[in-house]
C-alpha cells in the first residue's frame, strides 16, 4: 500500500511521517492481501490558524481500495490522537466492507441451486 502524506499549516517532520507509517501498517495488512496497489492519501495539520484550544489538529485519510473510496476525518486537540482515531475509523470501514463482501458470496441465490 502506498502512503501519500502531506501537511497543512505546519511542517512535516520525520517523527510525524514515521508515526503515520507505523499506524497505517494495521490497515496495510488488511488491504495488501487483496489489493497491493491500494493507495491512501493522508493529510495532517491545523484546521485553523488562530485557535490554541479545542480540537484544532486534524487528520484526514482517503483510501482507494479495489475501486472503492474510504474516507475518515478527525479533529482533536492532539495531532497523534487525531491520527489514531482516523486510522481506527478507516480500518473499521475496510473490515466492514470485507465482511459484507464475504456475506454476499455466501448467500445462495434462489434461482441457483
* Residue 111 belongs to some domain of the structure: no
pTM for the structure as a whole: 0.83
* Residue 38 belongs to some domain of the structure: yes
Residues sharing a CB contact under 8 Å with residue 48, sequence separation 6 or more, in sequence order: 56
- Residue 28's nearest CA partner among 83, 96, 87 is 87
* Residue 112 belongs to some domain of the structure: no
Q: What is the pLDDT of residue 24?
A: 93
Residue 53 pLDDT > 70: no
Query: What's the structural domain count of the chain?
Result: 1
Note down the domain range covering 39.
2-106
- Residue 26's nearest CA partner among 87, 74, 111 is 87
User: What percent of the chain is predicted at pLDDT more than 70?
Assistant: 88
Tell me which H or E stretch contains 104. Answer: helix 79-106
* Residue 23 belongs to some domain of the structure: yes
Asked if residues 98 and 65 have their Cβ atoms less than 8 Å apart, the reply is no
Rounded CA separation 113/103 (Å)? 17
CATH, residue 77: 3.30.160.100
* Residue 92 belongs to some domain of the structure: yes
Amino acid at each position: 500500500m502506498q502512503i501519500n502524506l502531506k501537511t497543512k499549516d505546519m511542517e512535516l517532520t520525520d517523527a510525524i511521517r514515521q508515526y503515520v507509517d507505523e499506524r497505517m501498517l494495521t490497515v496495510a495488512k488488511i488491504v495488501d492481501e487483496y489489493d497491493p496497489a491500494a493507495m491512501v492519501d493522508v493529510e495532517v495539520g491545523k484546521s485553523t490558524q488562530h485557535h490554541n484550544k479545542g480540537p484544532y489538529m486534524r487528520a484526514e485519510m482517503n483510501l482507494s481500495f479495489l475501486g472503492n473510496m474510504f474516507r475518515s476525518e478527525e479533529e482533536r486537540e492532539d495531532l497523534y490522537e487525531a491520527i489514531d482515531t482516523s486510522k481506527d475509523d478507516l480500518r473499521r470501514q475496510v473490515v466492514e466492507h470485507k465482511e459484507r463482501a464475504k456475506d454476499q458470496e455466501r448467500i445462495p441465490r434462489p434461482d441457483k441451486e
